Structure formats: structure tokens, C-alpha cells
Structure 1
Amino acid sequence: MNKDETPQDKNQIPRSYPVDENSKKRQLDSFSGDPRDQFYTTDQGLRITDTDNSLTVGDRGPTLLEDFHFREKMMHLDHESIPERVVHARGTGVHGYFQPYNDSFKEYTKAKFLTDPSTKTPVFVRFSTVVGSRGSADTVRDVRGFATKFYTSEGNYDLVANNMPPFFIQDAIKFPDLVHSIKPEPHNEMPQASAAHDNFWDFASLVPESTHMLMWVLSDRAIPRSFRMMEGFGVHTFRFINEAGKGRFVKLHWRPMLGVKSLVWDEAQKLAGKDPDYLRRDLWDAIEAGNYPEFELGVQIIEEEDEHAFAFDLLDATKLVPEELVPITPIGKMVLNRNPDNFFAETEQVAFHPGNLVPGIDVTNDPLLQGRLFSYLDTQLNRFNSSNFVEVPINRPVVPVHNINGAGFMRHTVSKGRVNYTPNSLGGGCPMMAPENMGGYVHYTERVEGHKIRKRSESFNDHYSQATLFWNSMTEVEKKHIVSALHFELGKVETKAVRERMVGNLAHVDLELAALTAEGIGVEAPTGSVAETVKNTVSALKEKLSTKKMVDESPAVSQEKGKKKTVSTLKVAILADKGVDEKQVTQLKEALKAQGVEAKIISKFLGTIKGSHGGELEADKSHITAASVLFDAVLVPDGKGCVELLKKQGDALHFLNETFKHCKTIGALGEGIALLQASDLKGVEYAQPASSGVSTSKGVVTAGSEADLTTFAEAFLTSLSEYRHWEREEKEMIPA
């Protein structure tokens, strides 16, 4: 047995994992001298044998309400933060509607809002980060929440999603441990809104089931360009039930019509300082401008007889169902078209719960989902200090509510009559039970049997295959970004043993990934017999799963391979000063606007700019209030006087250099080419300033003063549709 293993003998005291001795001393200060006092107990002092697995019926059955340890552990987490949410504290909300494309899904579900194309169901969506407080920045590396409340004709339905399909843990009983580890460390309350610290990576290195999710968090998915440009995933496996009572397993997905786009890490860090509200401001401004975000709802449908056909367990929330095995079928489209009237009353008070269901949709025995059914209600009780939070306007359904709820804080309903119990005769038996054929909710009938145990199914034991699938599916650029993220995150970890353990985990994903990671964080990569053992372990597992449905790669999980080339709602900065060709600027702005691109004039100072033809332009932002990270591209128009002034302005040159470093599109016309030449853009070919030619080189589009402006605009927009030009990423000498 190596030093990191714990003995399995139930009568043997487990060893501690290797830890920093100073940290261990502080942790043990609260314990007595008796070594047995280090055991985990309940609040009543009851020693616990297992805090990793909920009490279930059999190893794949539902979680039992009698699991007092799970309930106590989860209750404490849910009530630890007042008044903001424990997780997903920083968010922004928006109103809209959802409409199905047709009635074809009647075959799969009796949920009316998914099957009636004539109905627009009102929705409220809350986008959020997970780890940080309400005062943290929008652009931190983190999972993004994507929670949707559908106000349907059958009651409220909540789809509580993330922008990544898997999750960190398999069983909700581990959720308090996950959250505690990733939050600021309790002794000094640092770092804020970041996983880059010892506690989180100590936890992650000891919980290999988190490895797949870590690959997603280390990818560019964790730093989205916009809430309007990220996917949403229901994470869990749910059930659709049709009118005949037939059930099917389903995975639900949101797809942005603008495509998926992300920031680069240097850009994300700078935005946190330049505009910590960048993502929420982007969403608000887009809706105010009438650029309503649209998302398509799709579903993966798995027949019940195929439940065990895959090389993973459908009830394991750390796994996804590859689209190559089960394609996504579109259901309908959501349009977000109205900002809230009051942030607190709506965005802050909205309360989601995955147990808010409607006929035709049901949960499964996913142990993470089962725990969330308890947790979401419990945490709302803490936030609102009342069970009547459902009566807050943003949480009310649009259908009548009839029940026997009592009084309490925040009670809005004025109940009439003397009867507040059921059954009753004095109130005519009302409210009475609804039969299924009149909209009554009936849980899906499922046979469940087994012993009461704390044990996870053997089908949950593969922790690395899908992490490997994700890595294999990435382009070289995406792989490079993941390695850089590992260097940053693990580079912040002071405990070498934690870094070594993580590299050991990554070796089971890919030996090259482990070696590249080790190189940047000061530890040794697995080699020789150790590497050979890892290879044999991985091969043996693959052989074991070979009879099941599986794929080695999934292009669908790669942002780059599935890139949607669109320019709609992207932002372009136009650098200008006195002597600019104002007619050219006006024409360019009109050409960009026609394609849905927003252009802003950036100058040294706000105010009026006199042009070379006697006209005037108005500066939208000054150098001190703007930055390249706030835009998706930059343009330098013609005008000799303007360019001579810009050459002397360090902010203008920095603007260009930084745009180039972040691989965004750059354009210049006529004399504007001289500003590019005066900057540090390396390896780029330019058009001749006085010619009629148009040149595109590594995402830099230039045109001579005699060039056709329409031709230039088309070339610039084509380059902009690529969003990033990764061939420039090796130019790390750019001083920006």
C-alpha cells in the first residue's frame, strides 16, 4: 500500500493523507490528544463510517430521506451564507419566452409547453458564476449557471443548467466538501472567486471522479465571451413521459444561435479590472439595443432498453452522452427580450428548484440530482427565512394555486374560509386531488428494490475515460490553453504533494498532458515503469468497456471544431483623432451596422473630432475609459494627420498590440497602415498605403487609399467572423 492509500479494513483506523505539517497542526488544534478524536462525526458526536456516498436503495437506487447524515451535512452548507446564495451568488437575469417548433414531441412527452407550437411560454433566465461572492468579477475562470424558469400552463418548470455538461461529483453528499474546498480558504478568506489554491486542488486530487469536469473548467468554456454565446446543459439525466405512460431517458441542452465564443485568459484577467460587470453589461446592453439573445432547446433521447448500453452510467452526473452516439434533436427556441425592472425583486429573489416539474417530465435516480431535490428547497428557506418565497412575484406561477399552506413570514395570499386541512367536508372537499387525465402529476412508475447501503454502483467507477475523450477531441490550440490553465491553477498551489498527485491523475487521462503539466509546475512526470503501469491500467479499462457504446473522440465538445462563423453583435473599436477621414469612418460604420456589428469611435479625449474633409465625428469613449479587451476587433481609418497623432499616443499603440496579442481582427486603410507598422505587429504583410489593393494576413486586413471600401469591408467582416486568429498566438513577444 502506498502512502496515499487508506486501508479498507472497517476495524482499522485510516491513515491521513500527506499534508503540510503546519496546516495539519492548525487543523488538529481543535482535537484532543486521543488519535480517535480525529474521526468525522455528526453534530451530535456520532462517528461516521462513510461521508462519500448517500444512503440509497441498492447501489443505483434513489436516495433515502432517512439519511440523517446527508441531510445534516447539506443543511449546514445551505445555511452558511446570509443573505446571498451559497453558490451562484453573482448573477444576472432576463425575461423572455420559449416556443416549440412543432408538435412532434408529443410522441415523447405530455408536457404541453414542449408540444404546442401556438404557445409562447414566458421564461425568466438567470446566468451566474458559481464560486464568487456577489461582488466578484464576471470574467473569472468558473462554471456558469444557466437556470430557466418556465411559467407554463401546468405550473412552473425549472431547468437548472450549467454551461458544461458534466459535474465534479457523483453523489450530492460530497457537495458541501466540493464547495468548501473551492471557496476562499477559511483561515484567511482568500482567494476570491478562484479555484487556484491548495484547498481545491487537494480535494480534486483526492476525488478522481472530478477529473472530467476539471478538463472542461480548464478549457476556454470557463471564460465565455458573453452569456449570449455559451451553451447550457441540464447535467442530469431526466425522464420524458408521454400520454401513454411510456418513459425515456433524456439529456437537455441549450444552444446559442450566435455560436459559442470565449475570451482568452489574459483578456479575462484584464477585463476583471477594466469592467468587472462585463458579462452582465453585455447582456443588458444587447437587449436594450434590440439584439435579443436566442437559444435553441435540444434533447438527447435514450430508450429505456438502452439504459445500460453505454460505456458509462446514465445516472452518473460526471459523464456526458456523446452526440456522436445520441444526436441532439431540436425542440424549440427561447428568445430573451426584456431586462428586469428591478434587480433585487427579480434577479436576486428568483428561486429555482430542479423538483419544480410538470406532467411529462420526471427525475431519475441520479444520486447528485436526488440530493439537489433536497438542497434547493432548503437553501431557499435560509435565503428568505420563510417557506413563502414561492409567493414573491418572480416565483409565482401563472396558473391558480390552491393548497393548505399556513402562515409565516412573507405570506401574500389571503386565504378565505375556515378550512385549512384535507380531507374535509366543511369546505366541500376542496382543494381536492386532481386525476392524471386532468393534469394531476404522477411520478413515473419504477420498480426499486435493494438493501439500505452506502455504496456506489460499480458502473460509476470509471473516472478518466471521458476526460480522455475530451482531451482527444480538442484542437492543438485548445489543448495549449488547457495546459496553460493547469500551469496557472496548479502553479498557485504551494503544497508540492498536491501538485504531484494531480499530475498522477492526469497521467490516466493522457501521459503527454501529464508531462506538459509537470513541466510548468516543478514536479516530475510519470516515466518508466510508472508510466507503463498507467498505460496498462487504461488499456485494461478500455478493453473491459469495449462491448459497450463508446467513442474515442467527440468533435461536438470542441469549440473550435464546431465554430459558428457569425459577426452579429460583435464590437469594433475605431481609433481616431484630429485629421481622420470622417467620411470613410461614417461609411465603415454603416457597412458594419448593416451586418449587426457595433462600432465605437475611440479617441484620446471625449468630444468632437474634426475630420480631414471639414466634417466632425463624436468620440464614444476616451483612452482612459476604453480598452482593447472591451472590443472584438479594431480599425484604423485613413487620415495622415490622425495617424501622426496616434503614433505619439502610447495608449493607441498599446490598443493595437494588445488586440494583436489576443488574436483578434485588425483593419487599417491608407495612412492607417503606418500606425500598424509603428506598432509591434510581427510577421504581417500589408497592402501598399497608396494602392488599390486589399490584403489579409493572419487576421490583419489592410487596404490602400485607392481601394474599394466595400471590398475592404467584406474582407474585414470575413476575418471578423473567424473571431480569433490563433496563428498569431506564438507571437508572445508582443509587449501588451
Structure 2
Amino acid sequence: MMKKPTLTTSAGTPVPTNETSKTAGPRGPLLLDDYQLIEKLAHQNRERIPERTVHAKGWGLEGTFTVTHDITKYTCADLFSEIGKKTDVLSRWSTVAGESGAADAERDVRGFSLKFYTEQGNWDMVGNNTPIFFIRDGYKFPDFIRTQKRHPKTNLRSPEAMFDFWAAQPESVHQVTILMSDRGIPKNPMYMNGYGSHTFSMWNASGERFWVKFHFKTQQGHEHYTNEEAEKLIGKTRESYQEDLINAVEEGKFPKWTLYIQVMPEEEAGQQEYNPFDITKVWPHDDYPLIEVGELEMNKVPENYFQMIENAAYSPSNVVPGIGFSPDKMLQSRVFSYADAHRYRLGTHYEALPANAPKNAKVNHYHKDGAMRFFTNDFGNPDAYYEPNQYEGPVADETVKEPPLRIDGDADRYYQEESDIDYKQPRKLYEMFSDDQKERLYKNYAAAMGPCSDGVKQRWYAVLEKVHPDYAAGVRKAVESLDTDVNAVPVTEDTPMDDQ
């Protein structure tokens, strides 16, 4: 019989018992010098960390990304350097509004985040399952998230707050239309697309810059739940996504996605009727067709969920040479706010945790001290703790410098005010829906808007009226009738939300 390893304290000392406490006599009291009892209880008290302000409920897998097509004319990023190149990836999918104990199958936007452990450091693709977002300026993000969370007095979710905010931000109607459509409740992450949503940039070895959009298209097809199906499912299990993912991997049915990019030459920005850096807008595929890049396969359940998924810290600030940012206002805000959220939630050195530490690139920096500094970075010489120094410490590499960012000097060109452009794309999306899809859209609205005040309803109807009179009339009729019955037939038909 194999001898079991010896139980120890966190300091490595063997533990004589893990069953009984030290006492002064047969009946007690306990002794203060029973350090292991105190340590065990103290650790239990500290097993939780602050949950994410948004995207608190999540699920993740490990896997690989494989390049299948050459895009080196657009980017010098090493992970895309040759066909067949493989990169390890850590994924995390999530709901936006729910807390960590929320049900998986709720109507909500889903986060779709990927960490690529490249040889040039980590690249984080931090996106959603929609190609757009509710707002286009990070200044409004805290307000928006407050409407998705709990009311300060009732501690309940507030449809009133949601639709009141959206009615005051008409650009949100594009995203709300997707949210209230069939795609509002994906069957699980395997049956949804992932998007970078923002406009990013790439540059090639010659220093030519291109604006890009990232699209991860599911190879499993699109499947969704109706409200009625989701309600029945949640009554049976609140963990349906996690169960589905684990079962799929254990059965060898590894979920896969195909990565495509849309590419816009740098000088073309500003020639469109829409702002190409506005995250509430898509780029029509007729103008900027999808270009295939590679395949993402997620094939492993992490050994420890907390270590690899709860501790995973994704930020759009993590880019690699050959991939960069754009003048997208929401992206610019997220570049700061995401990393700062991780510093608060996980600690100063969150990127040294196993989920976040680069696997294939050496880390050299001059960050010092702070809570949980469990690594050294003196580069073999304790005098090399600043830069520049004469002690062979790490120095910057000018060869990875980003080319100059050339954008239109006319600031008003990108001053984002409400205009008919905010309604044109959601109008086209609405017109693409079949009659059955429209009926489900109306009924989903009725279920969501039922508790709202008449004033908020009227303001939202006015927004929908600018999209399409039939859209407003259909939602108004469904809300007024309060007929929240939904079609119980599984939804498998698909509308190309990102190709408008």
C-alpha cells in the first residue's frame, strides 16, 4: 500500500492530528497555543476575495489557438507569424450583471475573454458575445453598471433603472435589440460567438498600421433558450453552463471557434458615414469582409477553478508588439480600469499569479514590494533596482516601438452625438429578423419592461420609433397586453448580428 504524504502546516511543519483540538482537560477549554486550529479557521475566513464588480459569474477552459492562414501583411505579432503555430490559451466566459451565485441561463450579455500566452508576453482579447456595446464613452460606464446591479433601497434588480438609462442613451438600442432577441440567452458558451467589439490596430514589419475587428465564430452553431425554457432550466440547476462545459470536455467534444478579422487601412478611417471607432457600430461585411486567421480549441478543464478562473485577470491593456489600440473612447477607458480593478481585487502583483503569469516569455520589470510579493526581480544583482543602471539590468527595446498613430485632426469628426446613424444599423438588424423572431423579441421586451413606469416605457417607445415604427408598435402592443408567454420551441435559427 502506497504511503500517503504527510500533512503539514503552511510553513511545512508536520501536523500530528487533523481531528481534535488541544484542550486544557477532557472537557476543555481550548488552548490558544493550538496554532494549527487557529490557522485552519483563519484560512477559512479568508477563502473569499472580492468578486468582480461586473462579470462575477464565470466559467473557463484551457486550450490552444492554431494559425491556419497567413496575416503577416497586417501584423508582426509573433503568435500569427506562421501557419501551424500554436499558442496556449486560457478562456473565461461570464454574465455581465449577475453576482457570483447568479444562474447561468439568465438573459444577459456574455463576456468572452481569452488570454494568449505568446512568446512576446500575454495578449488578452477581452470581449463579449456581441459585436457592439451599450455605450460608446467610458465616462458613462459606472452609471450604466449601476443600472444593471441592485437598487440601493430595495436591493432588487431594477428594470426601471435599466430602461430609464437606455432611453437617455439612444445609441444603446442596437445592443438592447440583440439582448432582447433570441441571442439574449445562449444555450451555453459553446453556442455563441466572441468579439473584441472594439476597434483595435495592427501593424506589420514595415510599420504599416491597419484598424481591425476580432471575430471568434462558433463552430458548434448558434443555439438559444427562450424565456420559458430558461426559467424551467434554472428551476433545475443554476450551474447549467459549467455542467455543459465540463461534460463536453470529458466526452472529448472540445468546443472550437474560428478567428476572423476585419481589416480597414489606416487612411480609410473617417470615410464612413459611421465612426469606425464607435463601439456601438459594426463594420458592414460588404465593405470589410471577414479574413480567416485560425482555430481556437478549448480542451481542458482547469485543475483548480479558483486558481485559474477566479484569479484570471484579463485586461485590454495586455497587448503584444503588432497589436495595439485605437481612438475608441470605451477602449481607452478600459485600458486603465480593467488593470486597476485587478489590482484592487487580487493585489498589487496579480499578474504573477499562475493564471496570469506569462508561460512563454520572461518577465523583467522594476516593480517593487507591496502585498504578496512572492518573487524576486533583482536580475542577479541586488543593486539593479532602478533604471538606467550600470549593473546589466533590463532595458527597453526600441525595435518593438509602435508606428505613429495617424488620425483625423478634426476633433469634431469623432465628437459622438446622437444622430440617425445610431438608428440605421439597429434598423437593418430589425429588418433582418423573421416574423417569428420579431414576435419573440416583442414578448421578451414585455417580460423585461413590465415593471417599468409608464414614463420610462414611453421614452423607450420613442427610441424604438426612430429605429422602425413597426418595432415600437410591436413592443408597445406586447407590453400593454403583458402577454409574457413565449414560444417553447428550441431556438436554432440564426441571424448574422455582426453582418449588417
Query: What interval of TM-score do these two structures reach, taking the shorter chain for normalisation?
Result: 0.7 to 0.9
1:46-61 equivalences under 5 Å are: none
Amino acid at match of 1:393: P
Amino acid at match of 2:363: V
Amino acid at match of 2:350: F
Aligned residue pairs, count: 439
Distance 2:493 2:270 in 1: 41
CA gap of 1:304–1:450, structure 2 versus 1, over 3 A, is closer
1:382-393 equivalences under 5 Å are: 382-384=344-346, 386-393=347-354
Amino acid at match of 2:133: F
CA gap of 1:506–1:82, structure 2 versus 1, over 3 A, is farther
Name the structure 2 match of 1:498: 456
Corresponding position: 1:394 with 2:355: yes
Name the structure 2 match of 1:108: 74
Distance 2:140 2:227 in 1: 29
Tell me if the contact between 2:226 and 2:487 (Cα under 8 Å) persists in the aligned partners.
no
Name the structure 2 match of 1:99: 66
Deviation digits for residues 496-532 of structure 1 (CA, Å, limit 9, x no counterpart): 1000110111000110111111123339xxxxxxxxx
Distance 2:411 2:203 in 1: 28
> How many angstroms does 1:321 deviate by?
1.1
Amino acid at match of 1:95: E
Name the structure 2 match of 1:83: 50
Distance 1:509 1:449 in 2: 29
Name the structure 1 match of 2:488: 662
Corresponding position: 1:331 with 2:293: yes
> How many angstroms does 1:184 deviate by?
1.5
SS of the residue corresponding to residue 395 of structure 1 reads: coil
> How many angstroms does 1:663 deviate by?
2.3
Tell me if the contact between 2:440 and 2:487 (Cα under 8 Å) persists in the aligned partners.
no
Tell me if the contact between 1:312 and 1:459 (Cα under 8 Å) persists in the aligned partners.
no
> How many angstroms does 1:233 deviate by?
1.0
Amino acid at match of 1:121: T
SS of the residue corresponding to residue 276 of structure 1 reads: coil
CA gap of 1:126–1:396, structure 2 versus 1, over 3 A, is same
Tell me if the contact between 1:300 and 1:327 (Cα under 8 Å) persists in the aligned partners.
yes
Name the structure 2 match of 1:290: 252
Tell me if the contact between 1:296 and 1:331 (Cα under 8 Å) persists in the aligned partners.
yes
Name the structure 2 match of 1:214: 176
1:57-456 equivalences under 5 Å are: 83-102=50-69, 104-191=70-157, 197-384=159-346, 386-398=347-359, 399-416=361-378, 417-418=381-382, 419-425=384-390, 427-428=391-392, 430-436=393-399, 440=400, 442-447=401-406, 456=415
Corresponding position: 1:471 with 2:430: yes
Amino acid at match of 1:462: I
Distance 2:487 2:416 in 1: 48
CA gap of 1:158–1:461, structure 2 versus 1, over 3 A, is farther
> How many angstroms does 1:254 deviate by?
0.4
CA gap of 1:723–1:511, structure 2 versus 1, over 3 A, is closer
Amino acid at match of 2:319: L
Deviation digits for residues 578-598 of structure 1 (CA, Å, limit 9, x no counterpart): xxxxxxxxxxxxxxxxxxxxx
Amino acid at match of 2:455: A
Distance 2:233 2:58 in 1: 17
1:512-661 equivalences under 5 Å are: 512-522=470-480
Moved more, 411-420 or 292-301: 411-420
> How many angstroms does 1:465 deviate by?
1.0
Tell me if the contact between 1:312 and 1:460 (Cα under 8 Å) persists in the aligned partners.
no
Distance 2:286 2:433 in 1: 15
Return the match for 1:480 from 425, 439, 449: 439
In structure 1, runs of 5+ residues without a counterpart are: 1-80, 524-657, 665-721, 726-736
Amino acid at match of 2:166: A
> How many angstroms does 1:206 deviate by?
1.2
CA gap of 1:129–1:349, structure 2 versus 1, over 3 A, is same
> How many angstroms does 1:451 deviate by?
10
CA gap of 1:243–1:451, structure 2 versus 1, over 3 A, is closer
Tell me if the contact between 1:100 and 1:116 (Cα under 8 Å) persists in the aligned partners.
yes
Tell me if the contact between 1:109 and 1:242 (Cα under 8 Å) persists in the aligned partners.
yes
Deviation digits for residues 451-474 of structure 1 (CA, Å, limit 9, x no counterpart): 999x93459773211110110111
Tell me if the contact between 2:259 and 2:296 (Cα under 8 Å) persists in the aligned partners.
yes
Distance 2:438 2:192 in 1: 19
CA gap of 1:348–1:82, structure 2 versus 1, over 3 A, is closer
Distance 1:458 1:198 in 2: 24
Deviation digits for residues 11-39 of structure 1 (CA, Å, limit 9, x no counterpart): xxxxxxxxxxxxxxxxxxxxxxxxxxxxx
Deviation digits for residues 46-82 of structure 1 (CA, Å, limit 9, x no counterpart): xxxxxxxxxxxxxxxxxxxxxxxxxxxxxxxxxxx96
CA gap of 1:313–1:459, structure 2 versus 1, over 3 A, is farther
CA gap of 1:397–1:87, structure 2 versus 1, over 3 A, is same
Tell me if the contact between 2:222 and 2:493 (Cα under 8 Å) persists in the aligned partners.
no
Deviation digits for residues 671-704 of structure 1 (CA, Å, limit 9, x no counterpart): xxxxxxxxxxxxxxxxxxxxxxxxxxxxxxxxxx
SS of the residue corresponding to residue 345 of structure 1 reads: helix
> How many angstroms does 1:723 deviate by?
4.9
Amino acid at match of 2:426: A
Tell me if the contact between 1:110 and 1:360 (Cα under 8 Å) persists in the aligned partners.
yes
Distance 1:663 1:341 in 2: 37
Tell me if the contact between 1:127 and 1:146 (Cα under 8 Å) persists in the aligned partners.
yes
> How many angstroms does 1:117 deviate by?
2.2
Distance 1:225 1:520 in 2: 25
Distance 2:321 2:280 in 1: 27
Query: What is the TM-score of this pair, normalised by structure 1?
Result: 0.57
Amino acid at match of 1:422: E
In structure 2, runs of 5+ residues without a counterpart are: 1-47, 495-500
Amino acid at match of 2:457: R
CA gap of 1:170–1:129, structure 2 versus 1, over 3 A, is same
Deviation digits for residues 382-423 of structure 1 (CA, Å, limit 9, x no counterpart): 101x22000001100021111111011121212332221001
SS of the residue corresponding to residue 79 of structure 2 reads: helix
1:719-730 equivalences under 5 Å are: 723=492
SS of the residue corresponding to residue 349 of structure 2 reads: helix
Tell me if the contact between 2:170 and 2:418 (Cα under 8 Å) persists in the aligned partners.
no
> How many angstroms does 1:118 deviate by?
3.3
Tell me if the contact between 1:168 and 1:318 (Cα under 8 Å) persists in the aligned partners.
yes
Tell me if the contact between 2:364 and 2:377 (Cα under 8 Å) persists in the aligned partners.
no
CA gap of 1:511–1:297, structure 2 versus 1, over 3 A, is same
Moved more, 511-520 or 157-166: 511-520
Distance 2:185 2:355 in 1: 29
- Which protein shows a greater Rg? 1
Tell me if the contact between 2:135 and 2:279 (Cα under 8 Å) persists in the aligned partners.
yes
Amino acid at match of 2:121: G
Tell me if the contact between 2:270 and 2:408 (Cα under 8 Å) persists in the aligned partners.
no
Tell me if the contact between 1:212 and 1:464 (Cα under 8 Å) persists in the aligned partners.
yes
Name the structure 2 match of 1:709: none
Amino acid at match of 2:388: P
